[in-house]
Amino acid sequence: SPWKPVLLLLSPPAFSTSCPRCAKDRRLRAKRAISERQLTRYFVDQRKVRVVGGQGGGGGHSFYSEPRKIFGGPDGGNGGDGGHVIFKADQQMKSLSSVFPFYQGSHGERGGSKNCYGANGAHVYVKVPVGTLVKEDGRVVADLTQHGEEYVAAYGGAGGKGNRFFLSNENRAPTFFTPGEPGQERVLQLELKTTAHAGLVGFPNAGKSSLLRAISRAKPAVAAYPFTTLNPHVGIVHYQDYEQVAVADIPGLIKGAHLNRGLGTAFLKHIERCRFLLYVVDLSVPQPWLQLQDLRHELEAYEKGLSGRPCVVIGNKFDLAQSRINLPLLRERVAERVIALSALTGDNLEELLFHLRELYDTYVKTEQSRGQSPVKW
């Protein structure tokens, strides 16, 4: 096979200076573990922002005068333009928690004498995560899906005209000038939709977080109670040819999620950006195929056609005795491919990684045939 899935487990090396008296342990510090309750404070997927462009500078009002040239004429320059407020998609940003509720561009400077123009106001750049929707009055005005993509949220006002601008044959000494225009003012709603190649969809306690921990370096919380995961997590699966597949752990859904029950539509929207779906069902429960039917119903009720995306069914908790009995029954009632595995013991994870790469390669070829660039991590 040209590629093989690999799981990288690297221990941070220890570094020290050559002098034993001043040697220091410079090992890389492990990331502090943050619980789901604490992470809720940092992960924000909705923000209401008021943006105001900078005001333009007023025009200058002066007349040129020097010895032996008293009537030099008007020489007031134009004012500078106000700065814009610009949203910029940044791959390093993972949440809208750092976005403030108010931004304003810098004001332009006033025009000076001797036909000097005022300086333009500096633009204010607001970094937002990739996959951010910008809405105004419920209408989508921008969709930032690529790293470095920009959207001008509020334009700065134009600078005023100096009295030099109004010089004409009829008026050789104009005394009037115009003030700078105010900047554009808008109230926008920012909405984050997680951008990932694959989405783990399942009911609470189906083992989605455990599976993501097993195939990637992501560390979502795992516990023996429902709704352990309160926020989407994205893990990266590394392959030997340096391809990276992003897998998103979507919080557990329940019946009626499209009616905003449970965690509701707040996290159903994160599935919209996933290119293919990984349905995770608990093989140890009675009639696990009913879970798959309910999941597809919720996705289809939320958005038509969402359940028809390329998918694979993952039967988790295969290490339990009841799961081995339910597996052939599940395969009889499901037309899609069923991969039985155990996220706890790691059994049969390799088959999932191979099939995940096949889904990713199919997605890349489809996007390239359409003349579009696939999402890369």
Phi and psi (nearest 5°) for 295?
A: -65, -45
Please name the helix (run of DSSP H) or strand (run of DSSP E) that holds residue 188, with its range, or none: strand 185-192
Instruction: Give, in order, the Cα–Cα distances in Å from 306 to each of 193, 269, 302.
Output: 15, 11, 8
Summarize pLDDT for 194-226 with one digit per residue, the tens: 778 888 888 887 888 888 888 888 777 665 555
348, burial (CB in 10 Å: exposed 0-12, middle 13-18, buried 19+): middle
Q: Give domain 43-193's CATH superfamily.
A: GTP1/OBG domain (2.70.210.12)
pLDDT, one tens digit per residue, over 253-271 is 655 544 445 455 566 777 8
Q: What angle do CA 95, 100, 105 make, to 5 degrees?
A: 125
Nearest alpha-carbon partner for 118 in 178, 77, 147, 168? 77
In whole angstroms, give the CA distance from residue 201 to residue 192. Answer: 18
Domains 43-193 and 198-370 fall in the same CATH topology: no
Q: What's the pTM?
A: 0.67
Length of the chain: 377
Burial class of 94 by CB neighbour count within 10 A (0 to 12, 13 to 18, 19+): middle
pLDDT < 50 positions in the chain: 1, 7-31, 36, 40, 257-260, 262
Q: What is the DSSP letter of 9?
A: -
Segments making up each domain of the chain, as ranges: 43-193, 198-370
**Domain 198-370, what fold?**
Rossmann fold (3.40.50)
Dihedral angle sign, alpha carbons of residues 222, 226, 232, 238: positive
- What letters, b where the CB count within 10 A reaches 16 and e where it falls short, cover 19-42? eeeeeeeeeeeeeeeeebeebeee
Query: Residue 290: CB partners within 8 Å, gap ≥ 6?
Result: none
Paired tokens of 353: 């990684």
